[in-house]
Structure 1
Amino acid sequence: MAGLPLDAVFLSVSMTVLILAGTVKGVIGIGLPLITIPALSFFVGVPQAIAIMSLPILITNGYQAFASRELPDVARRFWPLLLTLIAGVVLGTSLLVTLDEQILYAVLGSAVIAFGLLNLLNPSFHLPARSELWLSPPIGFGAGVLGGLSNFFGPPIVVFLVALRLPREAFVAAVGLAFFVGALPLYGLLIVYGVYGWAEALASLAAVPPVLLGVKLGERLRRRVPQDLFRLLVLGLLIVIGLSLLRRAWF
């Protein structure tokens, strides 16, 4: 696979990262690209890391959305967010292939740190239902730009949905649907821009089994490990990764 390192260090680290990220996904329902993209980007470029994670992200989020009975209600409720999400992805992906790599590291690191801190602080603010209609489009667009740049749409969307205090099942379905809808144009544009080739496609296919293994492990851990403790450990790890990316961007 031209352009991808296949030495023992890369393969062993990648396998560990994929299983760990899948485990996190199995425990808390999100976090797959937040862990894998920063970690893989230390070995390959950010665009390549995003391409490698395409199939695992599509498969896990598609399952999360389409296996839920909440899907029809969620789609009707959040269609403005989904439409502007797609528009933001188009802009963000165009920036992904033209921006200086140091800027990409800075954006990705800042976003990871912000996501970790917001969840550690656990803001208790509540958005009234009447604000949902006018907030959905800008939230969707901003999440799309971020997703196009870094392959994760989580920070704006997750904070928005938490603030709306959605029931658990509706929250999981909404997150899965948004991430799935945003990922489709992102990966299509990566093919158009020449970032996603046969090498990345094969690597992405190879990444699916360890991620799914991690998801199964996460489902078991969710029943045995206190979720609050596990969540704190995960968020702490994300902040460390974000700081490392900022250091790489600056120096």
Structure 2
Amino acid sequence: MQIHTLTIIVLVFLLAGAVKGMIGLGLPTIAMGLLTLAMPPSAAASLLLVPSFITNVWQLWLGPSIGPLLRRLWPLLAGLAIGTLTGGLPALTAGSTWTHAALGVVLIAYGLWGLAAARLPAPGRHETWLSAVVGYLTGVVTAATGVFVVPAVPYLQALRLSKDDLIQALGMSFTASTIALGLQLRVTGALQTVELGVSALALVPALAGMAGGQYARRVMSEQAFRRCFFVGLIALGAYMAATGWL
């Protein structure tokens, strides 16, 4: 791997880690969005595996309610795994312009949702089967784009969890997504040992970025940061969608 590619990887994971440290999510979204400008989506997803897994296990482990959340969210986690491994959309391994454009559309949708600060209605008595459906759809999107935030993140916000439980639930969902994506890449032959080695090295800037993001959260308005973050996602997504279809 060339020096300029390694430099790009370090800078991308510094930024992605900073975003995650600031608002609790965004590492895979930022990393996939930027890395796919310089490499195939399957390679970008492989690089994402180690930093995403470690940072999300950390986020999951520090929360207060692992047992209760597992009992409540197991349909979502099961659906997520099934959707990632069996989803019908073209996978990252296709390396097609469709994949690039689809990732752009996902980024735009997520950015608009974040700017609107919208919330879905609580699922109530339909939660069990809705969780499974949302998990499956998130898995399908994960397999096609490498981004596992839509529709899982808006749905988890709709469950009206406490702040700490929401952060832990996000870590749980993202950890399951990372494992399922790794298995999917392995099964399709897109997971390479050299990429996993670089992925392990990418953990260092990701953790450094997280530390910086946590510091920034203490000295900067989170509302202002979130606004800039989501506007940036929309701009990046529009660029990727346009270049993927043109």
- Normalised TM-score (structure 1): 0.93
- 1:231 is aligned to 2:226: yes
Are the equivalent residues in 1 in contact too, given 2:123–2:130 (CA < 8 A)?
no
The equivalent residue for 2:43 is: 48
The equivalent residue for 1:62 is: 57
- For residues 202 and 192 of structure 2, what CA distance do their matches in structure 1 show? 15
CA separation of 1:128/1:190 partners in 2, compared to 1, >3 Å: closer, same or farther? closer
CA separation of 1:183/1:190 partners in 2, compared to 1, >3 Å: closer, same or farther? same
SS at match of 1:155: coil
SS at match of 2:25: coil
| Pairwise CA distance, 1:178 | 1.1
The equivalent residue for 1:18 is: 13
Gap regions ≥5 residues in structure 1? none
- For residues 210 and 166 of structure 2, what CA distance do their matches in structure 1 show? 18
- Deviations 1:144-191 (CA, angstroms, capped at 9, x unpaired): 111112222112111011122211111111111111112212212312
- Deviations 1:121-154 (CA, angstroms, capped at 9, x unpaired): 1124431422312311110000011111222211
2:242 is matched with which residue: 220, 225, 247? 247
2:189 is matched with which residue: 194, 214, 231? 194
- 1:171 is aligned to 2:166: yes
Are the equivalent residues in 1 in contact too, given 2:104–2:241 (CA < 8 A)?
yes
- Deviations 1:193-233 (CA, angstroms, capped at 9, x unpaired): 22111220111011000000000001111111000000011
SS at match of 2:90: helix
Amino acid across the alignment from 2:126:
S
Amino acid across the alignment from 1:49:
A
Are the equivalent residues in 2 in contact too, given 1:84–1:144 (CA < 8 A)?
yes
- For residues 93 and 192 of structure 1, what CA distance do their matches in structure 2 show? 15
Amino acid across the alignment from 1:153:
F
- For residues 64 and 173 of structure 2, what CA distance do their matches in structure 1 show? 16
1:206 is matched with which residue: 198, 201, 206? 201
Q: How does 1:72-221 map to 2 (within 5 A)?
A: 72-92=67-87, 95-97=90-92, 99=94, 101-221=96-216
CA separation of 1:100/1:43 partners in 2, compared to 1, >3 Å: closer, same or farther? closer
| Pairwise CA distance, 1:64 | 0.9
| Pairwise CA distance, 1:94 | 7.8
Q: Which moved more, 1:159-168 or 1:12-21?
A: 12-21
- Deviations 1:76-131 (CA, angstroms, capped at 9, x unpaired): 00111111111001024983156451110121111110000011111244314223
Are the equivalent residues in 2 in contact too, given 1:93–1:148 (CA < 8 A)?
no
- For residues 44 and 167 of structure 1, what CA distance do their matches in structure 2 show? 39
Are the equivalent residues in 1 in contact too, given 2:75–2:129 (CA < 8 A)?
no
- Kindly tell me the number of residue pairs found equivalent between the two proteins: 246
- For residues 89 and 151 of structure 2, what CA distance do their matches in structure 1 show? 20
Are the equivalent residues in 1 in contact too, given 2:41–2:146 (CA < 8 A)?
no
- For residues 74 and 215 of structure 1, what CA distance do their matches in structure 2 show? 24
